């Protein structure tokens, strides 16, 4: 069996972390399970920022015809020679490679089209998807692209990457296995929105000026992405001795949000529900980061972004809400 | 007093708008529009993040993740988005 391990990256520093874990913990396990493995990294947006010496054992691709961006790359990867396409998100790390590799045996059942190791929505997604290439190649191209049904109408449905393929395969009688989140806990470390906030600052941060940092107080997704970058940045700086997500001046995390910037943003948030949700998210991310740090043999100390009394007060309020049957 | 033919609304650099609708007579000169509807007017620069482009002219700026239903594309950076049929259109594949 030949496995194509494919991942798309906009930023070389995150890709370097991803590559370190994938080549050390995942690829050997896949090979031990009897698979040949090709590692393919798509360098979205700025290919020159990737030093090939940092990515031994991987094929580095750049945007071009047939793979103009990371979503088209997924279809390009499907066309590569292989039996199983293993799509793995840029901010997703498999800590237990043997566990992930054990799912290759599921493909002995010809009715199994895919295994999703991490589902974030109703559909299996493409976050950590092992896809039988023969089954997916039967679908009309583009196979993995997102889409809109009834675009512009009030009831428009936005199909996420891989959704249409999953629906078509299942309606055709094939099986896509969804690994329960409880089983993946501790074996997979996933982070959210780490690229979105960086790309946003890159594209319109300068034109918004200080208004951009205000978005961290207003848009939870930005704050969560910034928090995850704090954690990944701490790991990156310790492991590689280089700044992570730097701005034009080379300031560590300046291309996302520094710890002080995020702390200031959270200080401006008066909505307790939003803070409870942020703290719950941060707890989840801390568990994910703790797994990465432990794998490196490093101590993990989560950043404290709220003053201790305020953090306690917010958590107590959230617990009281939950006890009253009104979770935040 | 507004001069004849002058735009009714000019969006400037540094502005951030969320879930608003902009009609004919609007000109964007650098604002970031998140999940907004553009229904007429001239998009000269700035960023359209998500949202729907129903009509008007896109002359510059970045189109990122929105739905393009109709209008004229003159210039700009198409990061990615969706066409009037709902199909995905990757980077550079502008209308």
What does A110-162 look like in DSSP terms, one character per residue? TTEEEEES---SSS--SSEEEEEHHHHHTSPSSSS--EEESTTSTT-EEEPTT
Percent of chain A with pLDDT over 90: 85
pLDDT, residue A317, reads: 87
| Min distance B57 CA to chain A CA atoms (Å) | 18
Residues A131-159 pLDDT 10s: 999 999 999 999 999 999 988 888 889 99
Measured N-to-C along each axis, helices A259-267 and A220-240 cross at an angle, to the nearest 10 degrees, of 160
* Residue B12 contacts A where some CB pair is shorter than 8 Å: no
Q: Using CB atoms within 10 A of its CB, is residue A72 exposed (0-12), middle (13-18) or buried (19+)?
A: buried
Q: Which residues of B touch A198 (CB under 8 A)?
A: none
Residue ranges for chain B with pLDDT beneath 50: 1-2
Q: Using CB atoms within 10 A of its CB, is residue A31 exposed (0-12), middle (13-18) or buried (19+)?
A: middle
| Min distance B3 CA to chain A CA atoms (Å) | 28
| Min distance B8 CA to chain A CA atoms (Å) | 22
pLDDT, residue B3, reads: 57
Which of A38-42, A122-126, A204-208, A314-318 bottoms out in mean pLDDT, i.e. has the lowest? A314-318
CB-based contacts of A84, cutoff 8 Å, min separation 6: A1, A2, A3, A4, A35, A104, A107, A130, A131, A132, A133
pLDDT, residue B19, reads: 94
What does the alpha-carbon distance between residue A213 and residue A281 come to, in Å, rounded to a whole number? 20
Among A208, A216, A221, the strongest candidate for a mutation testing the B interface, having the largest count of B CBs within 10 A, is A208
Mean pLDDT of chain A: 95
pLDDT, residue A152, reads: 81
CB-based contacts of A156, cutoff 8 Å, min separation 6: A148, A149, A150, B67, B86
Scanning chain B, the segments in alpha helix (DSSP H) are none
Which of A39-48, A88-97, A103-112, A317-326 bottoms out in mean pLDDT, i.e. has the lowest? A317-326
The chain A residue lying nearest B35, using CA atoms, is A152
Torsion of CA A137, A140, A141, A142, to 10 degrees: -100
pLDDT, residue A193, reads: 86
CB-closest option in A68, A200, A211 to B92: A68
Cβ <8 Å between A151 and B69: yes
Reply yes or no on whether the pLDDT at A184 is more than 80. Answer: yes
pLDDT, residue B4, reads: 59
Average pLDDT (A63-82) is 97
3-class SS of residue B36: coil
Cβ <8 Å between B91 and A68: yes
Reply yes or no on whether the pLDDT at A27 is more than 80. Answer: yes
Confidence bin at A277 (pLDDT 50/70/90): very high
What does the alpha-carbon distance between residue A185 and residue A299 come to, in Å, rounded to a whole number? 20
The chain B residue lying nearest A205, using CA atoms, is B14
pLDDT, residue A198, reads: 96
pLDDT, residue A310, reads: 87
Record the pTM: 0.94
Confidence bin at A119 (pLDDT 50/70/90): confident
The chain A residue lying nearest B80, using CA atoms, is A69
The partner residues of A40 in beta bridges, in order of sequence, read A6, A59
Q: Which residues of B touch A152 (CB under 8 A)?
A: 52, 54, 67, 69, 84
Among A44, A62, A69, the strongest candidate for a mutation testing the B interface, having the largest count of B CBs within 10 A, is A69
From the CB of residue A200, how many other CB atoms can be counted at a distance below 10 Å? 24
pLDDT, residue B1, reads: 47
Q: Which residues of B touch A150 (CB under 8 A)?
A: 86
Query: ipTM strictly over 0.85?
Result: yes
Cβ <8 Å between B47 and A204: yes
* Residue B67 contacts A where some CB pair is shorter than 8 Å: yes
- Is residue A231 a contact partner of residue A238, using CB atoms and an 8 Å limit? no
Count of A–B CB contacts within 8 Å?
67
The partner residues of A159 in beta bridges, in order of sequence, read A147
pLDDT, residue A308, reads: 85
Cβ <8 Å between A151 and B82: yes
What does the alpha-carbon distance between residue A4 and residue A179 come to, in Å, rounded to a whole number? 20
H or E element in which residue A208 lies: helix A206-208
Q: How many CA atoms lie within 13 A of A153 on its CB side?
A: 11
Confidence bin at A321 (pLDDT 50/70/90): confident
Where residue B5 falls (left for φ over 0; alpha for ψ -120 to 50; beta otherwise) is: left
Average pLDDT (A39-43) is 98
What does the alpha-carbon distance between residue A186 and residue A290 come to, in Å, rounded to a whole number? 9
| Min distance B21 CA to chain A CA atoms (Å) | 13
- Is residue A9 a contact partner of residue A42, using CB atoms and an 8 Å limit? yes
Cβ <8 Å between A207 and B47: yes
Cβ <8 Å between B84 and A151: yes
- Is residue A50 a contact partner of residue A15, using CB atoms and an 8 Å limit? yes
22-41 of B, contacting A, C-beta below 8 A: 30, 32
Average pLDDT (A252-260) is 97
A156 φ/ψ angles, rounded to the nearest 5 degrees:
-60, 140
Reply yes or no on whether the pLDDT at A260 is more than 50. Answer: yes
Confidence bin at A120 (pLDDT 50/70/90): confident
* Residue B91 contacts A where some CB pair is shorter than 8 Å: yes
Among B82, B83, B84, B94, the strongest candidate for a mutation testing the A interface, having the largest count of A CBs within 10 A, is B82
pLDDT, residue A315, reads: 87
């Amino acid at each position: 069996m030949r496995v194509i391990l494919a991942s798309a990256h906009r930023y070389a520093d995150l890709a370097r972390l991803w590559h370190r874990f994938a080549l050390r913990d995942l690829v050997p396990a896949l090979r031990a399970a009897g698979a040949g493995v090709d590692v393919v990294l798509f360098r979205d947006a700025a290919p020159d920022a990737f030093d090939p010496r940092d990515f031994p054992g991987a094929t580095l691709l750049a945007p071009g015809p047939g793979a103009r961006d990371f979503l088209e790359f997924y279809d390009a990867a499907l066309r590569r020679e292989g039996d199983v396409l293993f799509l793995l998100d840029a901010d997703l790390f498999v800590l237990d490679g043997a566990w992930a590799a054990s799912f290759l045996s599921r493909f002995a059942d010809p009715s199994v089209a895919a295994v999703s190791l991490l589902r974030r929505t109703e559909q299996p997604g493409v976050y950590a998807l092992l896809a039988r290439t023969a089954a997916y190649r039967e679908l009309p191209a583009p196979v993995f692209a997102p889409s809109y049904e009834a675009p512009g109408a009030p009831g428009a449905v936005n199909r996420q990457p891989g959704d249409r393929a999953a629906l078509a395969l299942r309606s055709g009688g094939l099986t896509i296995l969804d690994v329960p989140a409880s089983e993946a806990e501790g074996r997979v470390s996933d982070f959210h929105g780490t690229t979105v906030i960086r790309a946003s600052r890159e594209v319109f941060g300068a034109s918004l000026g200080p208004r951009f940092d205000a978005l961290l107080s207003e848009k939870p997704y930005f704050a969560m992405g910034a928090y995850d970058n704090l954690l990944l940045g701490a790991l990156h700086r310790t492991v590689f001795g280089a700044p992570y997500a730097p701005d034009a001046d080379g300031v560590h995390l300046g291309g996302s949000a520094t710890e002080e910037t995020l702390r200031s943003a959270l200080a401006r948030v008066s909505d307790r529900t939003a803070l409870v949700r942020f703290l719950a998210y941060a707890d989840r991310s801390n568990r994910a980061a703790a797994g990465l740090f432990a794998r490196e043999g490093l101590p993990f100390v989560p950043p404290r972004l709220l003053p201790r009394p305020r953090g306690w007060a917010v958590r107590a309020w959230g617990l009281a809400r939950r006890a009253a049957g009104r979770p935040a | 007093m507004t001069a004849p033919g002058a735009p009714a609304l000019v969006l400037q650099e540094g502005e951030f708008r969320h879930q608003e609708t902009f009609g004919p007579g609007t000109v964007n000169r650098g604002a970031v529009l998140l999940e907004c509807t553009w229904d007429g007017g001239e998009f000269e620069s700035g960023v359209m993040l998500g949202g729907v482009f129903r009509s008007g002219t896109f002359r510059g700026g970045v189109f990122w993740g929105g739905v393009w239903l109709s209008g004229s594309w003159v210039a700009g950076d198409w990061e990615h988005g969706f066409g009037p049929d709902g199909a995905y259109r990757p980077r550079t594949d502008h209308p």
